[in-house]
């Protein structure tokens, strides 16, 4: 499929030093024990050069069931941030289980009028996918504030932390293509090959859920795409089942390549012992069968943290044999 058949990308305006970034509870609540990590995330963002504000619902102890508030309240706060011209970016404090409750309440006209980077992963994958489907908005599948910037970043080696800070700053403020993302020895070629296409993905269970809503990506948008996904929790059999759903839906027949994140807390993954505990590589190749597409595995994005940013909708080049993933265009506009 040609680029002309794909949605027109809606790129946010590039951030500048001094711009206001708001940390918001877009899904799960803030637990009191996580307050120090949230404060550290603020330090990271301010050191990078941004002004930082906490949204109203981001208050330790505030919750409704497993959420920061009722879905309609979260949507109201998100819409307020989307409509506020002073707010230049929104970063989710954490993931959770709430985005499905308000996908239909988001002010997409406000996004079209003033697109802003929304950063986060996990449940926030639903926002990236649904908003890309509805508006063409580039979604920033990247670290959340509390478990990421204030958590995993702080335990990473200093050199890696500095590398990530520079990468995130360049992605949000630069209007030139970044090129190759910084690789590590953990990256594995699971099936060789090279592909160029739009980057689409998130947590695999959220991809499957998103495709079951009215805000699903049209199947043709997956033509020639590079699908990235990761998973946390659950069972190895669940991952196999989600991949089978993508096979049955036709998505695996349409994509040109796949990038798989570091698995996190998945029961039943092992070292490939016969008939007992398959590796993630074995699961992926089993479902792909004879679909001969490049697959790059064990890439650092998702719950294992800290995250490499994966901008949804941006054209990328994947070379699994060379173990490279390159961003071919900017995620923001001047």
Q: What is the pLDDT of residue 274?
A: 65
| 303 catalytically annotated | yes
Task: Write the pLDDT tens digit of every residue in 137-152.
Answer: 999 999 999 999 999 9
Helix or strand or coil: residue 89? strand
How far is Cα 261 from Cα 230, in angstroms, rounded to an integer? 5
Q: What is the pLDDT of residue 45?
A: 97
Q: What is the pLDDT of residue 324?
A: 98
Task: Write the pLDDT tens digit of every residue in 76-92.
Answer: 999 999 999 999 999 99
Strands 87-92 and 20-24, sheet pairing? parallel
Q: What is the pLDDT of residue 138?
A: 98
| 122 catalytically annotated | yes
Are 155 and 127 spatial neighbours (Cβ–Cβ below 8 Å)?
no
Intervals of the chain under pLDDT 50: 4
- The candidate with the shortest Cα–Cα distance to 219, out of 195, 206, 204, 200, is 200
Q: What is the pLDDT of residue 98?
A: 98
Q: Which residue is catalytic, options 93, 128, 141, 303? A: 303
Q: What does residue 34 show for φ and ψ, rounded to 5 degrees?
A: -90, -5
| 241 catalytically annotated | no
Q: Which residue is catalytic, options 25, 27, 67, 122? A: 122
Q: What is the pLDDT of residue 101?
A: 98
Q: What is the pLDDT of residue 120?
A: 98
Q: What is the pLDDT of residue 270?
A: 83
Alpha helices in 176-230 (DSSP H): 204-210
Cα angle 53-83-107, degrees, rounded to a multiple of 5 = 120
- The candidate with the shortest Cα–Cα distance to 154, out of 326, 50, 37, 271, is 37
Chain center to CA of 262: 13
**Dihedral sign for Cα atoms in the order 185, 318, 240, 124:** positive
Q: How far is CA 248 from CA 235, 243, 253, 260, 315, in A?
A: 20, 9, 9, 19, 25
Are 181 and 317 spatial neighbours (Cβ–Cβ below 8 Å)?
no
Q: Which residues pair with 198 in a beta bridge?
A: 315
Beta strands in 65-206 (DSSP E): 87-92, 118-120, 139-141, 179-180, 188-191, 194-203
Q: What is the pLDDT of residue 272?
A: 60
- Domains (range + CATH), the chain: 3-173 (3.40.50.10740), 179-327 (3.50.30.60)
Q: Which residue is catalytic, options 67, 125, 230, 231? A: 230
Longest dimension (CA), the chain: 57
Are 118 and 140 spatial neighbours (Cβ–Cβ below 8 Å)?
yes
Are 96 and 28 spatial neighbours (Cβ–Cβ below 8 Å)?
yes
């Amino acid at each position: 499929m040609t680029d002309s058949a794909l949605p027109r990308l809606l790129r946010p305006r590039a951030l500048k030093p001094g711009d206001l970034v708001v940390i918001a509870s877009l899904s799960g609540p803030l637990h009191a024990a996580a307050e120090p990590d949230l404060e550290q995330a603020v330090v990271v963002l301010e050191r990078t050069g941004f002004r930082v504000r906490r949204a109203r619902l981001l208050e330790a102890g505030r919750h409704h069931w497993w959420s920061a508030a009722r879905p309609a309240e979260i949507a109201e706060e998100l819409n307020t941030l989307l409509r506020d011209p002073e707010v230049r970016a929104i970063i989710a404090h954490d993931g959770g289980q709430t985005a499905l409750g308000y996908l239909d309440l988001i002010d997409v006209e406000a996004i079209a009028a003033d697109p802003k980077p929304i950063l986060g992963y996990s449940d926030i994958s639903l926002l990236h996918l649904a908003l890309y489907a509805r508006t063409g908005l580039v979604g920033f599948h990247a670290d959340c504030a509390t478990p990421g910037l204030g958590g995993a970043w702080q335990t990473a080696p200093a050199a890696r932390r500095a590398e990530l800070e520079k990468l995130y700053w360049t992605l949000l403020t630069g209007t030139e293509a970044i090129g190759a993302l910084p690789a590590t020895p953990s990256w594995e070629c699971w099936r060789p090959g090279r592909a160029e296409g739009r980057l689409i993905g998130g947590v695999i269970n959220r991809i499957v859920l998103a495709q079951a809503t009215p805000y699903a990506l049209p199947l043709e948008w997956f033509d020639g795409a590079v699908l990235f996904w990761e998973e946390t929790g659950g069972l190895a059999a669940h991952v196999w089942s989600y991949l089978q759903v993508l096979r049955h839906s036709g998505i695996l027949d349409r994509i040109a390549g796949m990038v798989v994140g570091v698995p996190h807390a998945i029961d039943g993954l092992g070292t490939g012992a016969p008939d007992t505990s398959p590796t993630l590589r074995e699961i992926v190749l089993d479902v792909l069968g004879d679909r001969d597409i490049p697959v790059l595995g064990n890439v650092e994005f998702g719950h294992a943290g800290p995250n490499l940013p994966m901008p949804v909708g941006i054209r990328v080049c994947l070379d699994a044999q060379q173990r490279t993933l390159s961003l071919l265009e900017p995620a923001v506009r001047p």
